[in-house]
């Protein structure tokens, strides 16, 4: 049996959202997700969001095509992209938003230019929870449990300052 800290380390090293649990015959018995590893009672972690967030954020613009946004997400192993216009956060587009849009469409072909040239602003989520750099990381952890989301933009004065994810919380909760 592995310790929780070992599993957290594996999740972070492998940049994955889950780790399979296998038996002696190597049959998968369960999956342990990032969220499963997140302490449920984080309370006040005594860490400011600004200390845990990634401030060099890769983002999309509202007019960017979802095909281009998808390439950025795949190339950088991202599940979400903040959508920014002139430094202001307009929304967030997730891999699931793009897949849901594509799955609901009528296709002329596998690589339909019409679908992939849809603008990000047409599929992004506009109503998004965000945090300020001065909030406690424990508040973000509580929001993960409450919303099921794995990451949140960090903004100050309407301007994007960073992004904080479950991985960032795990890094601080188990360090």
Q: Residue 2: its pLDDT value, please?
A: 65
Query: Rounded to whole angstroms, how far apart are CA atoms 71 and 90?
Result: 20
Tell me the sheet residues that pair with 95.
Answer: none
Question: Per-residue pLDDT tens for 130-155?
Answer: 999 999 998 998 898 888 888 999 99
How many C-beta atoms surround the C-beta of residue 121 within 10 A?
18
Tell me the sheet residues that pair with 20.
Answer: 31
Q: Residue 152: its pLDDT value, please?
A: 95
Strand, helix or coil for residue 158:
coil
Q: Residue 93: its pLDDT value, please?
A: 95
> Among residues 12, 13, 7, 31, which one has the least CA distance to residue 21?
31
Any idea what DSSP says for residue 33? E
Q: Residue 145: its pLDDT value, please?
A: 86
Question: Per-residue pLDDT tens for 67-94?
Answer: 999 999 999 989 899 999 998 999 999 9
Q: Residue 15: its pLDDT value, please?
A: 78
Q: What are φ and ψ of residue 41, in 5° steps?
A: -110, 70
Question: Per-residue pLDDT tens for 34-46?
Answer: 888 887 666 667 8
Domains in the chain, CATH or no CATH each: 1-37 (no CATH), 38-173 (3.10.580.10)
Query: Rounded to whole angstroms, how far apart are CA atoms 160 and 57?
Result: 9
């Amino acid at each position: 049996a592995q310790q929780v800290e070992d599993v957290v380390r594996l999740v972070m090293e492998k940049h994955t959202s889950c780790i399979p649990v296998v038996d002696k015959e190597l049959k998968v018995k369960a999956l342990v997700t990032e969220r499963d590893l997140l302490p449920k009672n984080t309370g006040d972690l005594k860490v400011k969001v600004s200390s845990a967030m990634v401030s060099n954020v890769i983002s999309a613009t509202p007019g960017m095509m979802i095909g281009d946004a998808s390439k950025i997400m795949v190339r950088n192993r991202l599940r979400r992209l903040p959508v920014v216009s002139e430094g202001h956060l307009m929304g967030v587009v997730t891999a699931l938003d793009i897949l849901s849009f594509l799955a609901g469409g009528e296709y002329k072909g596998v690589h339909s230019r019409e679908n992939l040239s849809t603008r990000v602003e047409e599929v992004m989520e506009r109503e998004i929870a965000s945090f300020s750099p001065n909030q406690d990381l424990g508040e973000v952890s509580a929001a993960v449990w409450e919303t099921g989301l794995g990451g949140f933009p960090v903004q100050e004065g309407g301007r994007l300052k960073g992004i904080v994810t479950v991985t960032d919380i795990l890094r601080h909760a188990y360090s």
